[in-house]
C-alpha cells in the first residue's frame, strides 16, 4: 500500500472518479472505503489529477467524499502450486471458501488468498548453490496431481542471478523461503514457491515462438477432420442461444489431447455455470481415470455478477494458462462468452464518454480482442521443451447474427471458425457446426484433398436441395437426387455425433481415419437404383446401420458384424467406384499408415 490517497468526486454506475494527490498508474489497484468495507477497483483512465476506476463490486453506498487508497500494485494473480482443481471468481478469490465465509449471498469487500498457506508441498531441488539462473528457470519441483509443477524464478526478475542457497528436499509451505538469489549488485533476494504477475501483461519468458502446425485432436469428427484446431492456435464458436456452445465446450474440455483445461465463464448465465460446477467434479478424465477437475481450473464471473469483473476473469484465465505453458504443458483455455466481456467494455466505454464505434461498442474493441487471442501460441522454452496455450472463445451474437461487431472482430484474428447454426440445432443436428459456413486455416488430421472431395458432396447436395424446393423432387434427375442423398448421408453419419453416447462421444484419430475411408467408398460409388424411392430407401437403411456402427465399440464383434452388413449391401447396389474416390481413399490410407 502506498501513501497515495484520493477522494471520490463522482459516481457513475460501477465507475468512480477519484481526485488524488501523488502518483497513480494505469491498471493500478485501489480500494474505496465504504463504511467498514474496502471495495477493490482498478484505474482505467487518468486525466490530470483525476482518475477513473472501475469497481469490481456492486457500488451501492459509495458517495462523493469517500476515501480511496491506492496500492501501487497492478491487478495481479498469484502463481504457484495448488491452482489445479480450484474454482475462482474473476479476481482469483476461491469461491468455495468465499461461500463458506459469506454464506448464501456473497458479501462485498471479502478477498481471500487464492493459494492457502496451510498446504505443504513436497519440494525437490533442481538448481544447486552457485548456479546462474534467470527468470522462469526451474529452481525445484513439487508434485501437483499427475503433473510435475516447476518452482520457477519469478517472471519479474530481470538479468541473471546466482543461487546463494536452496532448501533440501522436504515439505514446505508456499510462504517458506526455498532459495536465496544474489543479483548482479550483490543484493540477496529470497524466493518462495509462489509469486504474483500482472494479468494484463503477457508472460514472454520463452526462447522462441513457433508456428502452430500440429493438429490438436478433440475427438470430435467435425472439428478434427473438417475444421481443425492447431495446438497453440485460436478458434471461435459463435452461435445463437441454445445451439450447443456449452455442450461442445464441455465435450472438448474432456476429450481434447491437452494437459490442462481452464474454463473462464466471463459473463455466462449463472444457470449454465452452476451446471458446469456440478458436472465437472463428476466427470471421469479419460486420460487418468480420475476426476477431470484434477487438471481443470474454473473461473466464474456470471452475468449476474458485477460487470467489471468480466474483463478481469478473461485476463486471469489467460495468465494462468501462460503460467502452466512455461512448465512445458499444453493448455486449453475456453472463454464463455466473449460477447459478455465485450458488452462490459461497451458499458465502461459509455461511462467514460468515449466516441462509440459500431453498435456503441468502443472503437478499440478489435484491438482488445486481438490482444487477448494473441496470447495463445506454442513456444520453445529455454530448456528445449515446448508448451502451448490454445484459446477457444464462444460468441453469443444477438439473434445469431454473425455480422455484428464482436463476431466480426473475432473472425479477423482467429485461425478457425466453428459457426453454429440455428437451423441445424433446431433439426437436432449436433454438433450444430455449419459445414459450409465454417472454416479453418489449420491442417486437418486427414489429407486436405480428401476432405475437399467429401465436402463437395455437402455443397452439391445443398444446391440440389435448394433446387428441389423450387421445382420439386419430380423435377430433379436421379443422378442429382443421389448426390443430395450422399450429402445427407455424410452429414448424418460423420458430422453428427452423440456427446452422450459412451462410444460416439469421443472418436480416436485411428477410428476417424478408418470411418472416413469407408464413407469415401460410399460417396464415390456409382449406384444401380431403379428410381428415387429405391435410392431413398437404401440410403435410409445404410444411414441407420452407420449410426449403429458409430455406437459400436471399436473393432468389437458388433462393429465387425455391422461393417460386413454394410459392405455386403454396398456391393449389391454398386456399379463401380469413381477413380477420383479411389485416389482419395489411397491418400487417407497412406496418411493413416504414417500416423500409426
141 is in an annotated binding site: no
- Respond yes or no on whether the N-terminal peptide bond of residue 431 is cis (omega within 30° of 0): yes
Residue 134 contacts residue 160 (beta carbons within 8 Å) = yes
330 sits in which H/E element: strand 330-335
The C-alpha angle 519, 520, 522, rounded to 5 degrees, equals 65
For 589, the grid coordinates are 490410407
Residue identified by cell 458479501 is 107
Angle of the 509-524 helix axis to the 478-490 helix axis, nearest 10 = 170
**Quick one: DSSP state of residue 59?**
-
CA 66 to the chain's CA centroid = 40
Element (H, E) at 313: helix 308-325
Please state at what angle helix 557-573 crosses helix 532-551, rounded to 10 degrees.
160
DSSP for 331-358, please give it.
Answer: EEEEES-HHHHHHHHHHHHHHTTPPB-G
202 is in an annotated binding site: no
The DSSP code sequence of 150-173 is EEE--TT--S-EEEEEE--SEEEE
239 belongs to an annotated ligand binding site: yes
Output phi, psi for 179, to 5 deg: -160, 155
Place of cell 491437452: 258
- Is 114 within any annotated ligand binding site? no
For the chain, counts of helices (H) and of strands (E): 15, 28
d(CA 53, CA 47): 12
Instruction: Phi first, then psi: give them for residue 126, nearest 5 degrees.
Output: -115, -45
Q: How far apart are CA 117 and CA 509, in angstroms?
A: 43
Q: Specify the DSSP element, H or E, that contains 559.
A: helix 557-573
Pairing of strands 416-417, 188-191: unpaired
Question: Which residue reads 499444453 in cell numbers?
Answer: 330
**How many whole angstroms separate alpha carbon 160 and alpha carbon 174?**
24
**Alpha helices for 164-244 (secondary structure H):** 221
Does 6 appear as a known binding residue?
Answer: no
Q: Answer yes or no: are the C-beta atoms of 123 and 193 closer than 8 Å.
A: yes
Q: Which DSSP state fits 223?
A: I
The contacts of residue 472 (CB under 8 Å, 6+ apart) are: none
Q: Is 419 in contact with 402 (CB distance < 8 Å)? A: yes
8 Å CB contact between 595 and 587: no
Closest CA to 346 of 357, 361, 358, 359: 361
* Helix H or strand E segment including 46: strand 37-47
* Angstrom distance (rounded) from CA 594 to CA 79: 40
DSSP classification of residue 362:
B
Check whether 244 is labelled as a binding-site residue.
yes
Cβ atoms of 579 and 438 closer than 8 Å: no
Distance from chain centroid for Cα 291: 19
The β-bridge partners of 576 are: 526
Annotated binding site for ATP: 239-246
Q: Which residues are annotated as a binding site?
A: 239-246
Amino acid at each position: 500500500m502506498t501513501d497515495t490517497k484520493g477522494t471520490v468526486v463522482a459516481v457513475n454506475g460501477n465507475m468512480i472518479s477519484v481526485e488524488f494527490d501523488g502518483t497513480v498508474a494505469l491498471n493500478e489497484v485501489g480500494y474505496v472505503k465504504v463504511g467498514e468495507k474496502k471495495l477493490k477497483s482498478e484505474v482505467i483512465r487518468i486525466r490530470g489529477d483525476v482518475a477513473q476506476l472501475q469497481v469490481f463490486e456492486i457500488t451501492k453506498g459509495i458517495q462523493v467524499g469517500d476515501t480511496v487508497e491506492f496500492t501501487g500494485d497492478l491487478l495481479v494473480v498469484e502463481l504457484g502450486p495448488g491452482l489445479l482443481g480450484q474454482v475462482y471468481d474473476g479476481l482469483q478469490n476461491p469461491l468455495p471458501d468465499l461461500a463458506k465465509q459469506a454464506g448464501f449471498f456473497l458479501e462485498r469487500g471479502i478477498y481471500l488468498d487464492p493459494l492457502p498457506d496451510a498446504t505443504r508441498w513436497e519440494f525437490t531441488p533442481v538448481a544447486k548453490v552457485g548456479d546462474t539462473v534467470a527468470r522462469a528457470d526451474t529452481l525445484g519441483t513439487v508434485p501437483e496431481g499427475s503433473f510435475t509443477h516447476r518452482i520457477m524464478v519469478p517472471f519479474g526478475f530481470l538479468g541473471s542471478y546466482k543461487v546463494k542457497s536452496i532448501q533440501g528436499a522436504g515439505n514446505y509451505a508456499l510462504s517458506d523461503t526455498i532459495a536465496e538469489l544474489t543479483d548482479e549488485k550483490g543484493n540477496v533476494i529470497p524466493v518462495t514457491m509462489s509469486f504474483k504477475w500482472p494479468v494484463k501483461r503477457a508472460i514472454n519468458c520463452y526462447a522462441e515462438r513457433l508456428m502452430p502446425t500440429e493438429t490438436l485432436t478433440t475427438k470430435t469428427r467435425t472439428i478434427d477432420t473438417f475444421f481443425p484446431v492447431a495446438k497453440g492456435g485460436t478458434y471461435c464458436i459463435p452461435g445463437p442461444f441454445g445451439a450447443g456452445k456449452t455442450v461442445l465446450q464441455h465435450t472438448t474440455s474432456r476429450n481434447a489431447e491437452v494437459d490442462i483445461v481452464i474454463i473462464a465463464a466471463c459473463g455466462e448465465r449463472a444457470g449454465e455455470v452452476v451446471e458446469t460446477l456440478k458436472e465437472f467434479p463428476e466427470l471421469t478424465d479419460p486420460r487418468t481415470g480420475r476426476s477431470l477437475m484434477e487438471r481443470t481450473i474454473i473461473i466464474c464471473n456470471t452475468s449476474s455478477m458485477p460487470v467489471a469483473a468480466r474483463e478481469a476473469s478473461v485476463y486471469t484465465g489467460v495468465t494462468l494458462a501462460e503460467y502452466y505453458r512455461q512448465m512445458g504443458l499444453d493448455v486449453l483455455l475456453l472463454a464463455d462468452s466473449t460477447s459478455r466481456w465485450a458488452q462490459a467494455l461497451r458499458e465502461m466505454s459509455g461511462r467514460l464518454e468515449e466516441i462509440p464505434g459500431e453498435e456503441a461498442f468502443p472503437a478499440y474493441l478489435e484491438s482488445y480482442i486481438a490482444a487477448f487471442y494473441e496470447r495463445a501460441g506454442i513456444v520453445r522454452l529455454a530448456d528445449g521443451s515446448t508448451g502451448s496455450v490454445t484459446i477457444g472463445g464462444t460468441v453469443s451474437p444477438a439473434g445469431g447474427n454473425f455480422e455484428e461487431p464482436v463476431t466480426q472482430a473475432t473472425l479477423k484474428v482467429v485461425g478457425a471458425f466453428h459457426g453454429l447454426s440455428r437451423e441445424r440445432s433446431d433439426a437436432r443436428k449436433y454438433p450444430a457446426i455449419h459445414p459450409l459456413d465454417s472454416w479453418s486455416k489449420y491442417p486437418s488430421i486427414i489429407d486436405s484433398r480428401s476432405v475437399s472431395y467429401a465436402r463437395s458432396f455437402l455443397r452439391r447436395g445443398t444446391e440440389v436441395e435448394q433446387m428441389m424446393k423450387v421445382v420439386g423432387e419430380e423435377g430433379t434427375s436421379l443422378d442429382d437426387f443421389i448426390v443430395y442423398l450422399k450429402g445427407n448421408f455424410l452429414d448424418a453419419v460423420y458430422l453428427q455425433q452423440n456427446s452422450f453416447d459412451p462410444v460416439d462421444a469421443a472418436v480416436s484419430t485411428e477410428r476417424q481415419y478408418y470411418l472416413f475411408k469407408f464413407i469415401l467408398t460410399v460417396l464415390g460409388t456409382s449406384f444401380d437404383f431403379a428410381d428415387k424411392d429405391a435410392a431413398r430407401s437404401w440410403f435410409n437403411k445404410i444411414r441407420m446401420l452407420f449410426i449403429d456402427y458409430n455406437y459400436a465399440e471399436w473393432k468389437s464383434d458388433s462393429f465387425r458384424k455391422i461393417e460386413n452388413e454394410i459392405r455386403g449391401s454396398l456391393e449389391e447396389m454398386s456399379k463401380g467406384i469413381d477413380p477420383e474416390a479411389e485416389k482419395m481413399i489411397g491418400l487417407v490410407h497412406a496418411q493413416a499408415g504414417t500416423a500409426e
